A and B are shown apart, each in its own frame.
Chain A
């Protein structure tokens, strides 16, 4: 495989929120390379920091949060140092756009849909009047909304959930961003609609040569869309690799736990393996491997020292002591080892 171009590179990013005078370490030294034209999926529980991490790429952290360390290199600039809205407006929307989870709340209910798409086009492409309208209609058609002329003059409440999400995508894609961040774009939707939206994003990605980041907790969706996968836990990326490597040859115990807990892999009459306990409190300093207290097979060193990244292959790395040559031999759990066979069997 030829060396792919890195479009965005985050290094040791740290993000803190101050809450009631206390510091919450939401992101603890996260590094990530995003390759041009690829689809990256970030998976993790709620509270693992997956949304916060990507929001920092567009400067949309809440007022009490800030990037306290590391760098995010995009287009030769370190955007983590950006302070003013003016700097951010050059990136946000124009170069990196975002699709939010809930199409019910991300549109303005008082404005016609056409106008909302036009706003983004006028602001970022500098088109005016009829030209902007034409571009907006084109966008509506591109995202698969039938009757764009009629739909242009309708309000969001006249659209169904799936159609609304298409509008949100149209707004995000209207100014041809380089990177599209989709934050749980289909969680609020039905399965059949979900499949259509995922398909739509894939088509747009090919057509407009975008790089896409998916944030999701649905591993089924990940398998469907991703080229690369990053698994996040307690503000850190714990495993990073190509999609096949994560599904068929995962090494971090947290990834194992996520995969084994899938109802799709459950055997009837048996209990599903669960992840006991709760994620650690990020107000406190975390010692060792953050997942160790919930891991039944944790090693003694997991509680003492934080593991570094170990390479499984050129593209695959996991942050766990299991991969240290000195570690006792630990086998992947059966659900992970057998995933491929089991899924085939069920067809």
Chain B
């Protein structure tokens, strides 16, 4: 698949917090590419570093080594002011909790146009207003909502405002950090549909961060499973469900509750025990075990994984 354009390339990324003795490595040796127009999902438990990676791409968290490339240009570490502005415009973020991520004291109009104001992306007020209204309409809200405050909206509508705020900047890449975890069942489907529709109409690329594998299957093209700051498996969505190889992926899959009582009653819960890996002599590598299917393991494990593939 050489012809597909890589929008984001992440090479040997490491992110640490703190200094000296308190230094904590949150993300280590992370490598992946995101192709233009795809939905790439990052799945893992809380504390696994999935959000940290998303925030590093949008330049919220500094990186300590490795590279993040956006359209072939390095965007982590020290970069020129122009490029910084460019990245902020082109890479937007949607947050998890719509109750906490909107400024309670600002009207929707201001919330949505704040990015435009900061970057002077409009000629006059009329153009700004028009841009806001277009963004609101695109996410399925009425233009007159612009004069209201966030508390007047339900959770689903608030999440739509959050999406409109990202859209108004005309981004190419959106990091969606658990955008539906805090929403009600009936609204989840609406927001997922909206994200999918926008992806097609605007040609967006998503990095979708989630902890629930079952939701991710429906929306993603490729899925990476991350554990303790390391990506342990990466494959196309259906392939990952057909051939989960790494024990952590299997444990995650077994933990997801499925809406089928008969299956649920029979299901066996797998618990991931990191001590099953003996990496003292045989060092683990990140290997493409099948076309497009990567897994992290040492030679002995990879041998077993190869036998498992259907």
A interface residue numbers (CB < 8 A to B): 45-46, 161, 190-196, 198-199, 217-224, 226, 243-244, 247, 257-259, 261-266, 268, 271-275, 278, 339-340, 343-344, 346-347
Residue of B nearest to A46 (CB): B184
Question: By the criterion CB–CB under 8 Å, are A223 and B189 in contact?
Answer: no
Contacts of B217 in A (CB 8 A): 263-264
What 6 A-B pairs come out closest when comparing CB atoms? A220-B257, A266-B218, A261-B189, A195-B255, A343-B260, A272-B189
Question: By the criterion CB–CB under 8 Å, are B193 and A272 in contact?
Answer: yes
Q: Which one, B184, B197, B215, B218, contacts A268 given CB within 8 A? A: B218
Which one of A190, A243, A273, A340 has the highest number of Cβ atoms from chain B below 10 Å of its Cβ?
Answer: A190
Question: By the criterion CB–CB under 8 Å, are B214 and A192 in contact?
Answer: no
Measured CA separation A163–B267 after assembly (Å): 24
Measured CA separation A217–B188 after assembly (Å): 11
Contacts of A274 in B (CB 8 A): 186, 189-190, 193
Question: By the criterion CB–CB under 8 Å, are A259 and B252 in contact?
Answer: no
Contacts of B252 in A (CB 8 A): 191-192
Question: By the criterion CB–CB under 8 Å, are A218 and B257 in contact?
Answer: yes
Question: By the criterion CB–CB under 8 Å, are B185 and A191 in contact?
Answer: no
Task: Please judge, given known A-B contacts A192-B45, A223-B264, whether A258 and B186 are in contact too, CB under 8 Å.
Answer: yes
Question: How close is B7's CB to chain A, nearest CB, in angstroms?
Answer: 21
Measured CA separation A219–B185 after assembly (Å): 9
Residue of A nearest to B214 (CB): A264
Question: By the criterion CB–CB under 8 Å, are A263 and B184 in contact?
Answer: no
Contacts of A221 in B (CB 8 A): 257
Residue of A nearest to B242 (CB): A347
Measured CA separation A271–B192 after assembly (Å): 9
Question: By the criterion CB–CB under 8 Å, are A195 and B258 in contact?
Answer: no
Which one of A161, A191, A258 has the highest number of Cβ atoms from chain B below 10 Å of its Cβ?
Answer: A191
Task: Please judge, given known A-B contacts A268-B218, A274-B190, whether A220 and B185 are in contact too, CB under 8 Å.
Answer: no
Question: By the criterion CB–CB under 8 Å, are B255 and A194 in contact?
Answer: yes
Measured CA separation A244–B255 after assembly (Å): 21
Interface residue B116 (Cβ < 8 Å from any Cβ of A)? no
Question: By the criterion CB–CB under 8 Å, are A192 and B219 in contact?
Answer: no
Question: By the criterion CB–CB under 8 Å, are A191 and B193 in contact?
Answer: no
Interface residue B298 (Cβ < 8 Å from any Cβ of A)? no
Task: Please judge, given known A-B contacts A190-B45, A199-B269, A220-B214, whether A261 and B186 are in contact too, CB under 8 Å.
Answer: yes
Task: Please judge, given known A-B contacts A192-B251, A271-B193, whether A220 and B184 are in contact too, CB under 8 Å.
Answer: no
B interface residue numbers (CB < 8 A to A): 45-46, 154-155, 184-186, 188-190, 192-193, 196-197, 211-215, 217-219, 237, 241, 251-252, 254-265, 267, 269, 271-272
Interface of A is mostly: helix
Question: By the criterion CB–CB under 8 Å, are A261 and B257 in contact?
Answer: no
Residue of B nearest to A247 (CB): B261
Contacts of A275 in B (CB 8 A): 186, 189
Measured CA separation A275–B154 after assembly (Å): 15
Q: Which one, A244, A264, A271, A278, contacts B262 given CB within 8 A? A: A244
Measured CA separation A243–B258 after assembly (Å): 13
Task: Please judge, given known A-B contacts A217-B184, A274-B189, A274-B190, whether A224 and B218 are in contact too, CB under 8 Å.
Answer: no
Question: By the criterion CB–CB under 8 Å, are A191 and B211 in contact?
Answer: yes
Measured CA separation A271–B186 after assembly (Å): 14
Question: By the criterion CB–CB under 8 Å, are B259 and A223 in contact?
Answer: yes
Question: By the criterion CB–CB under 8 Å, are A259 and B259 in contact?
Answer: yes
Task: Please judge, given known A-B contacts A195-B269, A264-B218, whether A190 and B211 are in contact too, CB under 8 Å.
Answer: yes
Question: How close is B150's CB to chain A, nearest CB, in angstroms?
Answer: 17
Q: Which one, B46, B193, B258, B272, contacts A220 given CB within 8 A? A: B258
Residue of A nearest to B193 (CB): A271
Contacts of B237 in A (CB 8 A): 268
Question: How close is A128's CB to chain B, nearest CB, in angstroms?
Answer: 39
Question: How close is A205's CB to chain B, nearest CB, in angstroms?
Answer: 15
Measured CA separation A275–B187 after assembly (Å): 8
Question: How close is A81's CB to chain B, nearest CB, in angstroms?
Answer: 34
7 further A-B contacts with Cβ under 8 Å, apart from A220-B258, A271-B197, A274-B193, are A192-B272, A195-B257, A195-B269, A220-B257, A220-B259, A261-B188, A274-B189
Q: Which one, B155, B192, B258, B272, contacts A343 given CB within 8 A? A: B258
